[in-house]
Amino acid sequence: MNYAQAGCSALEAAMRSDASVVVLGEDVGRGGIFGQYHGLQQAFGEQRVIDTPISESTILGAAVGMALAGLRPVVEMRVVDFALCAIDELVNQAAKARYMFGGQGRVGMVARLPNGLWSGSAAQHSQSLEAWFAHIPGLVVVAPATPQDNHGLLRAALACGDPVVYLEHKELWGLQGEVEPAQLARLGEAEIARPGRDVTVVTWSRTRHTALQAAALAEKQGVSLEVIDLRTIWPWDRDAVLASAARTGRVLITHEAVQVAGFGAEIAATLAEETDARVRRLGAPRVPVGYSQPLEDESRITPQGIAAACVELRHARPAHR
Choosing from 151, 166, 181, the residue where a domain stops is 166
Catalytic annotation present for 209: no
Using DSSP's 3-state secondary structure scheme, residue 201 falls into: strand
Tell me, yes or no, whether 175 lies in a domain.
no
Please give the Cα distance from 295 to 143 (Å, whole number).
Answer: 26
Rounded to whole angstroms, how far apart are CA atoms 3 and 205?
12
Residue 135: C-alpha distances to residues 25, 63, 139, 147, 256 (Å): 25, 22, 9, 27, 18
Has residue 321 been placed in a domain? no
Structural domain boundaries, residue 146: 3-166
Same domain, 151 and 18: yes
Question: What DSSP line would sit under 54-101, residue for residue?
Answer: S-HHHHHHHHHHHHHTT-EEEEE-SSGGGGGGGHHIIIIIITTHHHHT
- Do residues 67 and 22 touch, judged by C-beta distance below 8 A? no
Q: Which of 166, 199, 224 is the endpoint of a domain?
A: 166
Look at the chain and report how many structural domains it folds into.
Answer: 2
Q: Residue 316 — very low, low, confident or very high, per pLDDT cuts 50/70/90?
A: confident
Cβ(38)–Cβ(3) under 8 Å? no
Q: Using N-to-C axis directions, what is the helix angle for 263-274 and 238-248, rounded to 10°?
A: 60
pLDDT in tens, 96-115: 999 999 999 999 999 999 99
Whether 151 and 94 map to the same domain: the answer is yes
Please check whether residue 180 lies inside any domain of the structure.
Answer: no
- 125 plus 205 within the same structural domain: no
pTM of the model: 0.96
Catalytic residue among 125, 151, 169, 209: 125
Q: Could you report the per-residue pLDDT of 158-207, keeping only the tens digit for each?
A: 999 999 999 999 999 999 999 999 998 999 999 999 999 999 999 999 99
Percent of the chain with pLDDT strictly greater than 90: 98
pLDDT at residue 28 in the model: 98
Judged against a pLDDT cut of 80, whether residue 124 lies above it is answered with yes
Examine residue 208 and state whether it is found in any structural domain, yes or no.
Answer: yes
